[in-house]
Amino acid sequence: MASKCGVSYAQGLIILVTASMLAVGHADTIVVGGAENWHFGFNYTNWAFQNSPLYLNDTLVFKYDPPNGTTFPHSVYLLRDFRSFLRCDLRRAKQVASVTQGGGEGFKFVMKRWQPYYFACGERAGFHCKVGLMKFAVMPLPRCHIW
Ligand SMILES: *[C@@H]1O[C@H](CO)[C@@H](O)[C@H](O)[C@H]1NC(C)=O
Ligand SMILES: *[C@@H]1O[C@H](CO)[C@@H](O)[C@H](O)[C@H]1NC(C)=O
Ligand SMILES: *[C@@H]1O[C@H](CO)[C@@H](O)[C@H](O)[C@H]1NC(C)=O
Ligand SMILES: [Cu+2]
């Protein structure tokens, strides 16, 4: 994935310029959990670990069925910091997607800032986050370093 960034000096300045032009505006769309989507009991920390690195402007897609008689509701929150992430502390967390927004094509979140993002499901006062493992942290990287 990062191969575009691995331009060596031997490949010359022309390629470097072209590569950096291509890199601007390039971004991937990643479904959180892959085929598992966003559900209770899947290890999203492990998923994030296996799918890293992610990059600035990449889009994360959270897919989960809206609540009905048979499905459990889920949601997406951004936790405030690493400490609240560890504890699944939802106080002062920011809801970014409601229980209905994960339907259809899913809820899309673009990581626009160079900062850690602490995602969690906010349902059942942290139970989904804590026991259901519905949380993960991402630090999106700049796609290309300029040497
Ligand atoms: C991310 O997208 C914004 C607006 O679409 C753009 O201005 C910015 O350069 C992009 N950043 C990166 C690292 O590609
Ligand atoms: C989830 O995955 C992480 C990273 O692989 C691992 O350290 C952790 O023990 C796993 N958690 C559970 C409850 O299996
Ligand atoms: C609830 O949603 C699930 C998944 O979309 C679907 O399989 C199920 O039939 C739905 N149940 C009801 C009662 O609508
Ligand atoms: Cu949940």
Per-residue pLDDT tens digits for 9-49:
444 333 444 444 455 568 999 999 999 999 999 999 999 99
Instruction: Please give all residues whose CB falls under 5 A of ion ligand 4, grouped by chain where several chains appear.
Output: 74, 121, 123, 128, 134
* Residue spans per domain, the chain: 29-138
Superfamily of domain covering 29-138 = Cupredoxins -  blue copper proteins (2.60.40.420)
- The model's pTM is 0.84
Tell whether ligand 3 has an atom less than 6 A from the beta carbon of residue 65. yes
Residue 23 and residue 25: Cα distance in Å, rounded? Answer: 6
Could you tell me the distance, in angstroms and rounded to a whole number, from the CA of residue 33 to the centre of ligand 2?
14
Q: How far is CA 107 from the centre of its chain?
A: 11
pLDDT tens for 63-100 read 999 999 888 999 999 999 999 999 999 999 999 999 99
Query: Is residue 131 helix, strand or coil?
Result: coil
